[in-house]
């Protein structure tokens, strides 16, 4: 946190210094306070900070993966550098950043429902579709204030030793603790958990939205005694790997890693997986300006970049050209592979953008 703060201070300082709004001595003092070597500043590392796109993502290996598959080709073709803020662009943080007037990120690796909610409240720059190509996105996943680059999803994994010859294959099985006894884990902040509950309760894929919140909550409560709830991917991962649950909801991109970590004891079920469109969104008044950031997003639409992210992060491409190019080993895990694309259920970000407050609080109330 402190490191992040200091890094941002220096980047801000570098911008002010370049614009002539801060004198040299003050800038050097700032660098010294932040522990940035003056030699590094003299070499221009911090200067470069003023001339780059800052991608705000979720840390972990995403910095390396985004760096290799989007940032490198982007810098090669435009000469503009790419920096990272890995603190996680939650809606509240983006809103606070834009409201405070000191925007330090250019593009956020966010959710599509963030694009709807924050776009409506005036916190985002519209996407420039003369640069970003709508044809390179699966139909329906390009919005005014955000464009989907990857899909991730909510699927579940089960213990093959617990269920043997009769493995679970749907959310109905997941919620059926009579026939499939054992502990469950679900996502703590409602997304995916509500959809899974409704599908289990017999709602058809096409009639899912608008979500019947009361019905979903009632279904979630039926397995409350047997449920744990996770808030982060690593928590979901460890609940399964440590054997705490017999069936666990996960972010599908972790499926392969968990199968490997448990030597295949736990298996991913992609049937009825809930496909979540991620979205690249641009905070209003982003420091690098609109043109540069739109070119950056355009780079991320390239099938090569998206297949790279699939390999590196398990995130599934949204560019239809890339669907057929998904490598054999990833087909079972990818949302838009020929194997899975007809089995998944797409999340409706417009409903979530408008109703997430109600849904999250109702869910929290039900589980706590």
Partner 1 sequence: MILPFLAVIAGFYIYPIANVLWLSVVEPEPGLGNYAALFDTESLRRIILTTIRICVVTTFFSVLFGYTIAYAMVHMDQRKQNLMLALVLVSFWISILVRTFSWLMLLGHNGLLNNGLQAIGVINEPIAFVRNELGVLIGMIHYMIPYAVLPLLVNMRNLDMRVMRASQNLGATGTQTFLRVYLPMTIPGIVASTILVFILSLGFYVTPAILGGGKVLMIAEYISVQILITLKWGTAAMLATLMLFGVLGMLYVMSRFMKLSAVFGGGR
The answer to whether the CB of 104 falls within 8 A of the CB of 12 is: yes
Cα 154 to Cα 167: distance, rounded to the nearest angstrom = 18
Tokens found for residue 84: 């990272």
The answer to whether the CB of 41 falls within 8 A of the CB of 289 is: no
- Choose, by CB under 8 A, the member of 16, 28, 162, 228 that binds partner 1: 228
- Choose, by CB under 8 A, the member of 28, 339, 350, 360 that binds partner 1: 360
16 touching partner 1, by CB under 8 A: no
Count CB neighbours of 263 within 10 A.
Answer: 7
Which range of residues in 25-33, 214-222, 330-338, 358-366 is near partner 1 by CB under 8 A? 358-366
According to DSSP, the residues that pair with 125 across neighbouring strands are 282
184 touching partner 1, by CB under 8 A: no
Smallest distance, partner 1 to C-beta of residue 330, A? 30
| Beta carbon nearer to partner 1, 23 or 99 | 99
Tokens found for residue 366: 């039900």
Cα 326 to Cα 266: distance, rounded to the nearest angstrom = 23
244 touching partner 1, by CB under 8 A: yes
Binding mask 202-221 for partner 1 (x = CB under 8 A): --------------------
| Beta carbon nearer to partner 1, 61 or 361 | 361
Cα 162 to Cα 172: distance, rounded to the nearest angstrom = 17
Smallest distance, partner 1 to C-beta of residue 185, A? 9
Nearest to 363 by CA among 227, 177, 172: 227
**Residues 87-106, interacting with partner 1 (CB under 8 A):** 90-93, 95
Which range of residues in 66-74, 170-178, 198-206, 226-234 is near partner 1 by CB under 8 A? 226-234
φ and ψ at residue 106, rounded to 5 degrees: -100, -35
364 touching partner 1, by CB under 8 A: yes
DSSP state of 207: G
The number of angstroms, rounded, from the C-alpha of 160 to the middle of its chain's C-alpha atoms is 29
Smallest distance, partner 1 to C-beta of residue 42, A? 31
- Contacting positions for partner 1 (CB under 8 A): 90-93, 95, 117, 188-189, 228-231, 235, 242-244, 356-357, 360-361, 364-365, 367-368
């Amino acid at each position: 946190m402190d490191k992040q703060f200091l890094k941002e201070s220096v980047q801000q300082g570098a911008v002010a210094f370049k614009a002539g709004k801060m004198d040299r001595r003050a800038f050097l003092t700032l660098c010294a306070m932040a522990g940035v070597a003056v030699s590094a500043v003299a070499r221009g590392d911090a200067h470069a900070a003023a001339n780059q796109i800052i991608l705000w993502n979720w840390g972990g290996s995403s910095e390396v993966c985004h760096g290799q598959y989007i940032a490198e080709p982007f810098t090669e073709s435009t000469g503009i550098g790419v920096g990272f803020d890995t603190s996680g662009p939650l809606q509240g943080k983006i809103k606070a950043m834009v409201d405070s007037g000191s925007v330090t990120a250019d593009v956020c690796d966010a959710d599509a429902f963030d694009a709807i909610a924050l776009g409506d409240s005036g916190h985002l720059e519209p996407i420039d579709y003369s640069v970003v190509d709508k044809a390179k996105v699966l139909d329906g996943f390009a919005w005014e204030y955000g464009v989907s680059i990857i899909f991730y999803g909510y699927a579940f994994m089960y213990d093959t030793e617990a269920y043997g010859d009769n493995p679970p294959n749907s959310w109905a099985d997941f919620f059926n603790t009579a026939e499939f006894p054992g502990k469950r884990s679900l996502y703590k902040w409602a997304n995916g958990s509500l959809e899974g509950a409704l599908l289990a309760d017999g709602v058809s894929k096409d009639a899912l939205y608008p979500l019947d919140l009361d019905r979903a909550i009632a279904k979630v409560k039926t397995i409350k005694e047997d449920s744990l709830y996770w808030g982060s991917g690593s928590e979901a991962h460890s609940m399964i790997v440590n054997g705490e649950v017999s069936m666990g909801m996960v972010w599908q991109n972790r499926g392969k890693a968990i199968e490997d970590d448990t030597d295949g004891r736990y298996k991913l079920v992609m049937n009825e997986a809930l496909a979540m469109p991620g979205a690249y969104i641009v905070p209003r008044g982003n420091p690098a300006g609109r043109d540069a950031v739109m070119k950056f997003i355009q780079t991320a639409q390239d099938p090569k970049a998206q297949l790279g992210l699939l390999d590196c992060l398990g995130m599934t491409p949204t560019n239809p050209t890339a669907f057929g190019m998904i490598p054999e080993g990833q087909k079972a895990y990818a949302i838009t592979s020929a194997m899975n694309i007809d089995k998944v259920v797409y999340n409706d970000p417009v409903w979530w953008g408008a109703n997430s407050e109600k849904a999250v609080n109702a869910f929290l109330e039900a589980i706590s």
